[in-house]
Chain A
């Protein structure tokens, strides 16, 4: 199949040597009408040919091989009023110079939509657009990070603060109840594979794309715009377009920056003396015959002699210090675990072109150290794009990105004794990393092999990713109105995980190395016929029909070797026992036929039909194919004769309805399978792992979207409002089976979920006086999530149908949002004796509440108000941009902090908030009486493990996401330096957070597939980063 497509495209490339018809090129300079300065990056678009280019650094543009004829050419640039010109091409070179007037946003920008670009004025669905200008200076590692807070209804949460870490992205809420699905990312027409990510670090497959290469990002949010991607689009589609070259002088741009990275939040823990006071108090309650001072002495001795020892070495016994004269340690473990990282980034690009051929070659290098010890990200990439016009009918382009990124990873998200984020909580101040002689302290909380200093120095978690990502396109224009475009895209990625633990870190294995080589070959090909025609000057008809095929094959091979007695070796050859190997391959395939038809009458009435017929290898023969249609329309009411509102420049209603699909389950889930799981005495074991379900089919999302676009006050204010309701049906879900059958669950299509909301995007030019401009952008989304129906048998009540009934964090019930928290109501601490109290179901006080009977629907993990707002101030060459991002409505449970840092049971770090505790009768406090272990009072639930409303915190926040200050050197300076442009900038991200969340990071995401969003467990917190740099253009 691949060969067929490849051969065909090669045939396309070389088989069409048609004669040159008469054609000419269009060229010119685009300038700012006020200053007459050239405008680099402005868009020129020939509507009839659906082709275009952008102006170079000198404002020059050239479009070649335009057949003689009459064309509508659109000149546009962000913030400037779009100009439409009718141009006659009847000579070899036609020169049109355009002066654009600064205005504000305009609806005539060309934006990338599914398979073909459209003018923004013709968009009938809901699409958010982010340009390179907006995100160009952000010192972030991948695309998801760039998008945070920038588009209404796109909720992005940092899954891990490690550089290059993953993000959880929800576009218009949570539609699945099996596992959250990332949106479909398409880079220059090629879908990005999420298969075979490293197991040693949180990681994003988009790490291999250098943000500096991104030209624009479009997010297809509603079903009518995303339906063209059919079965893979239910979670939304993110289209990323990279920069390309344009004809003209060869230009070189060099950019260098450096900065630092720090943890955004710290938790305040008790220091040693406060800890001892607390422990003494607890001990004294248990031993009222002692004085408080005696209790404290008892605890000091206990910690020194039985648990932690002393960092001051005793010549006779290095573990046991003299109990009389020497001290316990007082270590700030947060300082040990989280420290400042340094970052540097360099980008160099060369663009240019001669007639018929243009190119862009760009290379980048980044090296960023994370805040948790050892974590680090590097990327080296080379991106080449080349466009060539063979003749007036046939053109081709090639794009190739080769990147190697590395991560030094850390583990996280769980109560793990060897992961830095949890170690910061698990080690008490009396614990310490090193003995006086510099050797590792063997008496850290869980022994020497998980001493944080050992994890830091004796464990390597190295990830190396090599990515080849590229495409080859060929365009052939049959006539003025009909053309075909073929694309072959390759996303090839190998990931090498190398985990090495020395003998110190893994004494029972004598040290070990684990190597896993992962490979994914994700190939996409498509062929699209496009047509555009205008009849009687007012009937504009366009559209395309296409076919697409994608296969995603992945494999992995692992080997583990143990026994590394020599500290300088780590490769398996040098191991005593290279004993364990593994390996497996898996694959999924998609195929689809799709079409879009657009019609507009006089650019006033717009109508779009889209349909896609998709098949997936994940379903059985009878249920494999699904049809995903959509219809949408728009009415430009401001163009009507009766419309006479002087301050409104443009007003447009949009409405759309469509269906998209989701096949986000594992491969082969429809089959009855016996899996190779485990072994006994070397004999491989085979056991039934899943029962067959031949009826398994697509999850479907039906969405209705109504929108309004409004531009008023001479284009100074642009708003877009969208209202949507999205019902996801036939949800893929692992329905629990009676466990005595031997099976846990079977994946079935059940139930439905509704997401609905309102999204508002607003951009305005508040002030524009000669040298000074002030612009504001704002977006907010109000969202609601509700489970509509769940499966059950006849006669079942809604309670019967509830999944995980009364579960603290994972109940799924009709009428409630996904992520509902079922909590027992906290009644406070009894002022008489410091005993914790709760309310039972009837509202009576109880000391022993039961989750099954007393929990009530409390908060939920669904952030229902998210967005961002920013201001940009420009004065002469200076630009100051400040952007805030916010999220409200999410409540969550920080498991690790709650279980381990509030009581003395485990002798770990203690959160300072426990100081608000009961000490004597009459105290009104949040925390009960101090206790050494377990419940302090008889017949009372253990406060440490009893979940309830008191354990759930508000994870809402407003974050100063980004501040950038840049200065463009004036022509006087650049001419002196003999450069074309010079710019210096300082940019910071995650600079300040306003939140009531008392733990490390209010961005609660347990993992990319977590649907509940109400749990976090020692996650790597989001990092602050500040970079300063310089950009020089030649």
Chain B
């Protein structure tokens, strides 16, 4: 009996000892898979594609900051007294406020991570060629959008390299076209030049236009948007004929897709509610499961503008630009009329504009303070085409496209005075861009690329001189500390003249 007991005990310890290592092996995560599993199945590839769009929606830099930031940074928006969101951008000027800018580094590369995987790392044979082409084409367009946003945030446009304190300053952001698959791929790189980045953007868009031929679902990157984006980037690059041509192709495709200009009072006033009939690329935001930047209530477009915090309100400068007959005045309503949540009604919008109006582009139309997000509307393409043709061939060539837009908005043709000179026409285009694209992420970039002085909302005090170092966003101490190959932009504390000599 005793012997048996002892044998039992000894064997028990043996069982324990032998089984331990295998027990430690046998544990798997439940909400993640290995990279191989993700890239070798069609479901995995489609999930990475979903992630690329999901990250745009989930990042502040490609939602609220992307659309409202350039307005708050200039003269389109100002802070409602008592509110705080984007107050830093409102107050920033060309001399100090060293950290407040439209920096978008991390969010951009986070999206590029997925885009680069889709472009480079889909294993052979996991899906049919057509489906694969479409996924790669979408990734190329999104990569171009993100790269362009990086280039304009951290660098000057081609042709403007002498605008700032340093001559021929042509650095943009890091060029990363390959997939990061292992720790070795996460290497340190220097900033690429604006020229190199633009070259890659054009290559990407050309390839995407082929791969996306025939696609028309505007809730994903598609053929029309590939041309529309090419028009926008060519405009920034000063390639006027290319910009005008791409804009026309994009307009034609969008109209064929049913995304032409709205022309009725109701159509214009309510175009931002729901499916957005003018959008070439519309990111869908599910109010319940896919919030903007983590929380619609804290960070969403509506929360920053017409709802919740009610922070950024249209300035009197913007409202004064409209003709009383302009259908786009339907976008404005008294503060509080669209409010479903947050600060109490009737508060102090009068301090921003005379009638206490708010802009109804971002109202939380999807419910729970979320809106679908149009990254490009057809109206912008008419404005691109008008500007590009005018710059290529004189104001008379561009006014037709401008009038197409004006007519749709309930206005007659532009007065003759606007075609008196190219300068007058460009000024009119910039005003029209405010009327049409206010709070859609253009104003700061438009003033920057055209080299205009930026004023505070009252239009008397200068906010940024055109040659201010603050026109470019800082790379920042944090990024430079982690990667000594990065050079800071001129004028910021970490700028080292020896770092880069073009």
Query: Which residues of A come within 8 Å of B, CB atoms?
Result: 1, 4-5, 8, 11-12, 15-18, 306-307, 309, 319-320, 442-443, 446-449, 476, 478, 484, 507-509, 527, 547, 549, 551, 562, 577, 579-580, 584-589, 591, 593, 615-617, 621, 624, 667-668, 671-689, 691-693, 736-744, 746, 800, 802, 804-806, 848, 850, 852-853, 905-907, 934, 939
Contact, CB under 8 Å: A688 / B180:
yes
CA of A852 to CA of B495, assembled, Å: 12
Nearest chain A CB to B35 CB, angstrom units: 5
Q: Quick one: which of B33, B342, B368 contacts A686, CB cutoff 8 A?
A: B33
CA of A100 to CA of B345, assembled, Å: 78
Nearest chain B CB to A288 CB, angstrom units: 20
Query: Which residues of B come within 8 Å of A, CB atoms?
Result: 1-2, 5-6, 8-9, 12-13, 15-17, 19-21, 23-25, 27, 29-35, 37-38, 44, 46-51, 53-55, 57-58, 81-82, 84, 91, 95-96, 98, 105-106, 109-110, 112-114, 116-117, 173-174, 176, 180, 182-183, 185-189, 219, 284, 286, 288-290, 296-297, 308, 340-348, 351, 364, 367-369, 477-479, 481-484, 493-494
* Residue numbers in B under 8 Å from A688 (CB-CB): 35, 38, 113, 117, 180
Q: Quick one: which of B84, B91, B174, B484 contacts A906, CB cutoff 8 A?
A: B84
Instruction: Considering the complex, give the chain A residue whose CB is closest to the CB of B116.
Output: A742
* Residue numbers in B under 8 Å from A448 (CB-CB): 344
Contact, CB under 8 Å: A580 / B288:
yes
Contact, CB under 8 Å: A741 / B50:
no
Nearest chain B CB to A530 CB, angstrom units: 13
Nearest chain A CB to B158 CB, angstrom units: 22
Please name 9 pairs of A and B residues whose Cβ atoms are closer than 8 Å in the assembled complex, sorted by A: A306-B81, A551-B23, A587-B27, A667-B27, A679-B54, A680-B53, A688-B117, A802-B481, A806-B477
Nearest chain A CB to B307 CB, angstrom units: 8
Given A586-B30, A805-B481, also A738-B51 (CB < 8 A): no
Nearest chain A CB to B463 CB, angstrom units: 14
Contact, CB under 8 Å: A447 / B344:
yes
Contact, CB under 8 Å: A547 / B16:
yes
Contact, CB under 8 Å: A671 / B16:
no
Contact, CB under 8 Å: B482 / A736:
yes
* Residue numbers in B under 8 Å from A675 (CB-CB): 31-32
Instruction: Considering the complex, give the chain B residue whose CB is closest to the CB of A738.
Output: B483
Q: Quick one: which of A16, A577, A617, A689 contacts B27, CB cutoff 8 A?
A: A617
Contact, CB under 8 Å: A615 / B20:
yes
Q: Quick one: which of B15, B19, B57, B341 contacts A507, CB cutoff 8 A?
A: B341
* Residue numbers in B under 8 Å from A802 (CB-CB): 481
CA of A249 to CA of B359, assembled, Å: 82
Contact, CB under 8 Å: B20 / A549:
yes
* Residue numbers in A under 8 Å from B479 (CB-CB): 738-739
CA of A307 to CA of B83, assembled, Å: 11
The 4 A-B residue pairs whose C-beta atoms are closest, nearest first, are: A742-B113, A686-B47, A741-B186, A685-B51
Contact, CB under 8 Å: B27 / A852:
no
Contact, CB under 8 Å: A673 / B186:
no
Contact, CB under 8 Å: B24 / A680:
no
Given A680-B50, A680-B284, A686-B33, also A907-B23 (CB < 8 A): no
Contact, CB under 8 Å: A691 / B182:
yes
Contact, CB under 8 Å: B185 / A741:
yes
Nearest chain A CB to B141 CB, angstrom units: 15
Contact, CB under 8 Å: B27 / A678:
no
Contact, CB under 8 Å: B290 / A683:
no
* Residue numbers in A under 8 Å from B478 (CB-CB): 804
Instruction: Considering the complex, give the chain A residue whose CB is closest to the CB of B370.
Output: A508
Contact, CB under 8 Å: B109 / A739:
yes
Q: Quick one: which of A547, A585, A907 contacts B17, CB cutoff 8 A?
A: A547
Nearest chain A CB to B37 CB, angstrom units: 7
Nearest chain B CB to A835 CB, angstrom units: 15
* Residue numbers in A under 8 Å from B37 (CB-CB): 674
Contact, CB under 8 Å: A447 / B341:
yes
* Residue numbers in B under 8 Å from A616 (CB-CB): 24
CA of A306 to CA of B1, assembled, Å: 91
Nearest chain A CB to B84 CB, angstrom units: 7
Nearest chain A CB to B61 CB, angstrom units: 12
Contact, CB under 8 Å: B34 / A672:
yes
Contact, CB under 8 Å: A740 / B109:
yes
* Residue numbers in B under 8 Å from A672 (CB-CB): 34-35, 182
Instruction: Considering the complex, give the chain B residue whose CB is closest to the CB of A694.
Output: B183
Contact, CB under 8 Å: A527 / B54:
no
Nearest chain B CB to A311 CB, angstrom units: 14
CA of A407 to CA of B493, assembled, Å: 50
* Residue numbers in B under 8 Å from A589 (CB-CB): 23-24, 27
Q: Quick one: which of B48, B95, B343 contacts A446, CB cutoff 8 A?
A: B343
* Residue numbers in A under 8 Å from B51 (CB-CB): 677-678, 680, 685-687
* Residue numbers in A under 8 Å from B20 (CB-CB): 547, 549, 591, 615
Q: A673-B35, A853-B493 are known contacts; what are 16 more A-B pairs with Cβ within 8 Å? A: A4-B16, A549-B16, A549-B20, A580-B289, A589-B27, A675-B32, A677-B51, A680-B53, A738-B187, A738-B479, A738-B483, A740-B174, A742-B110, A742-B112, A805-B481, A934-B91
Contact, CB under 8 Å: A677 / B54:
yes
* Residue numbers in A under 8 Å from B95 (CB-CB): 939
Instruction: Considering the complex, give the chain B residue whose CB is closest to the CB of A806.
Output: B477
CA of A18 to CA of B9, assembled, Å: 15
Q: Quick one: which of A15, A443, A852 contacts B8, CB cutoff 8 A?
A: A15
* Residue numbers in B under 8 Å from A588 (CB-CB): 27
Instruction: Considering the complex, give the chain B residue whose CB is closest to the CB of A451.
Output: B344
Contact, CB under 8 Å: A852 / B112:
no
Contact, CB under 8 Å: A591 / B50:
no
Contact, CB under 8 Å: A850 / B342:
no
Nearest chain B CB to A315 CB, angstrom units: 18
CA of A476 to CA of B484, assembled, Å: 65
Given A319-B346, A617-B27, also A739-B182 (CB < 8 A): no
* Residue numbers in A under 8 Å from B49 (CB-CB): 683
CA of A562 to CA of B287, assembled, Å: 12
Nearest chain A CB to B475 CB, angstrom units: 11
Nearest chain B CB to A626 CB, angstrom units: 12
* Residue numbers in A under 8 Å from B31 (CB-CB): 584, 675-676
Q: Which of A591, A616, A617, A685 has the most chain B CB within a 10 Å cutoff?
A: A685
* Residue numbers in A under 8 Å from B189 (CB-CB): 738, 740
* Residue numbers in A under 8 Å from B484 (CB-CB): 800
Nearest chain B CB to A449 CB, angstrom units: 6
Given A668-B32, A805-B481, also A686-B185 (CB < 8 A): no
CA of A253 to CA of B180, assembled, Å: 66
Contact, CB under 8 Å: B32 / A673:
yes
Instruction: Considering the complex, give the chain B residue whose CB is closest to the CB of A689.
Output: B32
CA of A173 to CA of B195, assembled, Å: 53
Q: Quick one: which of A446, A549, A743 contacts B342, CB cutoff 8 A?
A: A446
Contact, CB under 8 Å: A687 / B55:
yes
Nearest chain A CB to B153 CB, angstrom units: 14
Given A591-B23, A691-B186, also A584-B48 (CB < 8 A): no
Q: Which of B95, B290, B296, B482 has the most chain A CB within a 10 Å cutoff?
A: B482
CA of A831 to CA of B484, assembled, Å: 42
* Residue numbers in A under 8 Å from B58 (CB-CB): 678
CA of A162 to CA of B270, assembled, Å: 49
Instruction: Considering the complex, give the chain A residue whose CB is closest to the CB of B348.
Output: A306
Contact, CB under 8 Å: A678 / B54:
yes
CA of A12 to CA of B11, assembled, Å: 13
* Residue numbers in A under 8 Å from B32 (CB-CB): 668, 673-676, 689
Instruction: Considering the complex, give the chain B residue whose CB is closest to the CB of A555.
Output: B30
CA of A579 to CA of B289, assembled, Å: 9
Given A740-B105, A742-B180, also A678-B340 (CB < 8 A): no
Q: Quick one: which of B23, B174, B297 contacts A508, CB cutoff 8 A?
A: B297
CA of A852 to CA of B496, assembled, Å: 14
Contact, CB under 8 Å: A442 / B344:
yes
CA of A4 to CA of B9, assembled, Å: 12
Q: Quick one: which of B180, B284, B477 contacts A681, CB cutoff 8 A?
A: B284
Nearest chain A CB to B253 CB, angstrom units: 22
Instruction: Considering the complex, give the chain A residue whose CB is closest to the CB of B108.
Output: A740
Given A547-B13, A686-B44, A805-B477, also A739-B53 (CB < 8 A): no
